Amino acid sequence: MRRRKSVLWLQSGGCGGCTMSMMCAETPGLIPILQSFGLDFVWHPSLSEESGAEVQTVLGDIVSGRQALDVLCFEGSALRGPNGTGRYHMLAGTGRPMIEWLREIAPLAKYVVAVGSCAAYGGITAAGNNPSDATGLQYDGRNPGGALGADFRSQSGLPVINIAGCPTHPNWVTETLMLLSEGAFAASDLDSLGRPRFYADHLVHHGCSRNEYYEYKASAEALSEIGCMMENLGCIGTQAHGDCNTRAWNGEGSCTRGGYPCINCTAPEFEEPGRVFTETPKIGGIPIGLPTDMPKAWFIALASLSKAATPTRVKRNAVSDYIVAPPSDRKTNLK
C-alpha cells in the first residue's frame, strides 16, 4: 500500500476565494479526489478541525522533520511589510510572521504550489501603492524574486508551481494535486511564468460562446449585450492564458458567458491594467491589445473584411441582450 501524500495549506494576504472555488470542484468533487489520490490535508485553515496549539504542533512536526511534507500550498500574497518584518500578518498564536513560516517550511516540501494570482504574482493585494508590501512566492508582479527568491527550488527540484487565477479554477487546483500525487509533474509542464501548461497553453478565447461575433467583429456596446466584447468593453480573452471556456466553471459558466469581459486574471499585474476593466483602449479606432500572435496590419485587414461580411442576423443580435434574429433554416443539399 502506497504512502498517502501530505498537504499543508497556508493562507496570507488574500480573500480566501481560491479555497472557496476549490470546494466547488465537481465530477469528481474535492473529497473524492483527496481520497482517491491518497492526499491528506495535515492542516487547512478552513477545512481542518485543528486550531491553536494543535496547529503549532503540526507546524513543529514539519519543521523538525517528524512529519514529511509532500505539498505546501500557499494562498494569498506573502506580506513583507512593514519594513521587511512581515509583521502585517502574524500567524495567530505563534508570535511569528507568516512569511517566516513560509520561508522555513517551503524548502522542506517536495513541491510548493502558489494557489491563485495573489500567491503567484502579488495579485489584487499588491495593487495600488501596496502598503503591506505584498508579493508572490517567486514573482513580484512580472519580476522573478518574490518572497522566496528567483533561485528557490523545492525538494523535487521544481520552482514554485503558479496556479494563477483570481480565483483559480477549482479543477486547476485538483488536477495539479492529482499530478503531484502521481509524481507526474516535471519542469517541462510549466510555462514561462510557472503556470501549469495543461491550462496555460490555452487561451480564454478558445471555446468562447461569443466567437461568431468575434469572427465578424460584431461588437457589443454595453455589458448587457451578447456581441463580442473585445472592441468596446475591454475583453482580452484573445490574449489571456486559460481554458475557462473549454473547461466551464461549475459545469457551465465563465466570465464571458456570464456577460463580463475577460480581464486576464491568470497574468501578472492584471490588477492594474492602466484603464477601466470594461473599456477598450484604442489608437485611431484600433484596440491596443491585439489578439496573441496577431500582427497589427493583418488584424486591421481582417477586421475590415469581417465587418463588411457580417450577416444582418449577427449584426442585430450583437447589440441585443438576447437573440432577436434566429439563424435561417436552409436545406444544405448534403446527403
pLDDT at position 1: 57
pLDDT at position 154: 98
Ordered DSSP codes for 61-85: HHHHTSS--SEEEEESBEE--STT-
Name residue 287's amino acid.
P
Confidence grade of residue 188 (pLDDT, cut at 50, 70, 90): very high
Q: Show the cell assigned to 110.
A: 517536495
Q: Show the cell assigned to 315.
A: 449584426
Q: Show the cell assigned to 201.
A: 497553453
State residue 46 phi and psi, 5-degree precision. Answer: -105, -30
**Chain segment 41-69, per-residue pLDDT in tens:** 999 999 999 999 999 999 999 999 999 99
Domains present along the chain, CATH in parentheses: 5-200 (3.40.50.700), 202-322 (4.10.480.10)
Indicate whether 300 pLDDT > 90. no
pLDDT at position 76: 98
Confidence grade of residue 204 (pLDDT, cut at 50, 70, 90): very high
Indicate whether 266 pLDDT > 60. yes
Mean pLDDT value of segment 255-277: 95
Q: For the chain, what percent of residues have pLDDT higher than 90?
A: 83
Across the chain, what does the average pLDDT equal?
A: 94
pLDDT at position 27: 80
CA–CA distance, 32 with 38 (Å, rounded to integer):
10
CA–CA distance, 29 with 184 (Å, rounded to integer):
21
CA–CA distance, 146 with 117 (Å, rounded to integer):
13
Its sign, for the CA torsion 253, 256, 257, 259, is: positive
Element spanning 128, H or E = none
Confidence grade of residue 290 (pLDDT, cut at 50, 70, 90): confident
pLDDT at position 333: 74
pTM of structure:
0.94
Instruction: Find, among 219, 217, 204, the residue nearest to 253 by Cα.
Output: 204
Dihedral of the alpha carbons of 159, 179, 12, 167, in degrees to the nearest 10: 110
Ordered DSSP codes for 200-264: HTSBTTTT-TTHHHHHTT-B-SSTTS-SBSTTTS---TTT-B--TTTS-BTTTB-TTTTT-----
pLDDT at position 335: 62
Indicate whether 298 pLDDT > 90. no
pLDDT at position 292: 83
Q: For the chain, what percent of residues have pLDDT higher than 70?
A: 99
Name residue 89's amino acid.
H
